[in-house]
Structure 1
Amino acid sequence: MIEIKHVTKTFGTKKAVDDLDLTIPTGEIIGFIGPNGAGKTTTIKMMTGVLNPDEGDILINGKSIQKEPLEAKRQFGLVPDSPDMFLRLKGIEYLNFMGDIYEVDTQVRQQRIEALAETFEMKEALNDKILSYSHGMRQKIIIMGVLINEPEVWILDEPMTGLDPQSSFRLKQMMKEHAAKGKTVFFSTHVLEVAEKLCDKIAIIAHGKMIYFGTLEDLRAQHGENQSLEELFLEVTEHA
């Protein structure tokens, strides 16, 4: 479970996130959507301890990201919005580095690396430097590094960007399987068609404020039974 408790973050005179209050239950896939500059990335950075909120607190499986940062960070895996990191490492070196950080047993780690490399068609690339990878391959290795620990909570910032259709399809399957095990998937996306088909609930943020959280069915009941998520999103954010 993720609990965002009345969180505010200000940069200069602008409130990037304004009294955000949200409880994300286990066993669900939550789509986090909003216009550019709405506060999505700032929220994710606070959830993961990259930024500290000015007010409020965030709990990951009951662990405060401010008061118990190490314990909180053990609860989640993060796929950031840019995969351009650790470029001078080989793919296998990066995966072992992530395994070391999360103290994944060597034998278990090897099995997971083999399975993930098979899933994302990366076997032949693991001994190459990440610097030589395409954007899509960098995205894959970052996702693999997150999943090697099998974290309870997945926090994914635009995770499908750059993925080929097969890898994107498999990742979506894995997200569904993870939620079906009673665990949590929280992901931001600009591809509303993906959110519409995949998510159990939608969280819409605009100007740093949460303007809707609930099922797509309830949103349609409020605004129009036959509208797509894209149409509903434009309607609810137009005057927010």
Structure 2
Amino acid sequence: MSAETITTDDEYALELVDLRREFGDKVAVDDVTVRVPRGSFYGLVGPNGAGKTTALSMAVGLLRPSSGRASVEGIDVWADPVAAKRHLGVLPDGLALPERLTGGELLTYWGRFRGMDATAVASRSAELIRILELEEAETLGTLVGEYSTGMRKKIGLATALLHAPSVLVLDEPYEAVDPVSARVLTRILRRFTASGGSIVISSHVMSLVEQLCDRVAIVAAGRVVADGTLDEVRSGETLEDRFVELVGAPDVDEEELSWIGS
């Protein structure tokens, strides 16, 4: 069987079926099933430690699942990772980047590593650096190791976009990004889905997910507790209220922390 024929249901841009990951006795992801339709902007939300990053890491081939399967554009991620990753652009949590390269050098290296044509790499790199407002850093020869957290997010997004994937998986892409840059990022992502691409983002900012996403899954304790269109998941409430209702919030007694403000 050839690599390109190791496929599953290609109706979905990204499909996770009964995905499970155990670390010793701890179950981090508990038989999660998520299906992302083509062309959708899909939000994955949950409290810290809910299993979002672990699930996304398995979905894109960075962490092997204990059981279950993941596919991208109908190609099984673990049966044929090379073919699957051609379709994927990934901004992982805690992105590690070469510290001693400029942003432009990083993109050049990344594109050539992917086997892209040198002319296309140069052209796309220059455009991404300009649009993501990294031109000044590039002109000054600023190394990636000297980038701020927000700048690292932007150059990480540039590496994810460089090879023109059809599916983007972005873990907290707006974290530490200033409001002006966030607007630029939003325009880029909306253009990506408008042209037929599919996006999955994780975020803790409910208002951001409501603004961007047409479908949402809420994850708690390693399980999907709600999944569907934004309106279906909200059920007439705000996403934040629905999130708290499903996930729960600790009670704080009025007498606790009474010393604050005293």
With structure 1 as the length reference, what TM-score do the two structures score?
0.93
What is the CA–CA distance in structure 2 between the aligned matches of 1:86 and 1:48, rounded to whole Å? 21
Written as runs of structure 1 = structure 2, the 5 A alignment for 1:1-240 is 1-126=13-138, 127-221=141-235, 225=236, 227-238=237-248
What is the CA–CA distance in structure 1 between the aligned matches of 2:239 and 2:28, rounded to whole Å? 24
Q: Name which one, 1 or 2, has greater alpha-carbon Rg.
A: 2
Q: Please give the per-residue CA displacement for 1:32-76, whole angstroms capped at 9, x wherever unaligned.
A: 000111100100110121111111110011111111011111110
CA RMSD between the two structures: 1.4
Q: Please give the per-residue CA displacement for 1:73-100, whole angstroms capped at 9, x wherever unaligned.
A: 1110111222442112222211111111
Contact preservation (8 Å) 2:104, 2:126 = no
Judge which range, 123-132 or 189-198, deviates more: 123-132
What is the CA–CA distance in structure 2 between the aligned matches of 1:211 and 1:44, rounded to whole Å? 17
Contact preservation (8 Å) 1:33, 1:205 = yes
- Residue 123 of structure 1: CA displacement? 1.3
What is the CA–CA distance in structure 2 between the aligned matches of 1:181 and 1:141, rounded to whole Å? 22
What is the CA–CA distance in structure 2 between the aligned matches of 1:173 and 1:26, rounded to whole Å? 19
With structure 2 as the length reference, what TM-score do the two structures score?
0.86
What is the CA–CA distance in structure 2 between the aligned matches of 1:3 and 1:138, rounded to whole Å? 28
What is the CA–CA distance in structure 2 between the aligned matches of 1:171 and 1:147, rounded to whole Å? 12
What is the CA–CA distance in structure 2 between the aligned matches of 1:117 and 1:17, rounded to whole Å? 36
Q: Any gaps of 5 or more consecutive residues in structure 1?
A: none
Contact preservation (8 Å) 1:83, 1:135 = no
Residue number in structure 1 paired with 2:260:
none
Q: % of aligned pairs identical?
A: 36
- Residue 177 of structure 1: CA displacement? 1.4
- Residue 188 of structure 1: CA displacement? 0.2
What is the CA–CA distance in structure 2 between the aligned matches of 1:7 and 1:130, rounded to whole Å? 35
- Residue 148 of structure 1: CA displacement? 1.1
What is the CA–CA distance in structure 1 between the aligned matches of 2:97 and 2:192, rounded to whole Å? 26
Contact preservation (8 Å) 2:112, 2:121 = no
3-state secondary structure, aligned to 1:52: coil
- Residue 195 of structure 1: CA displacement? 0.1
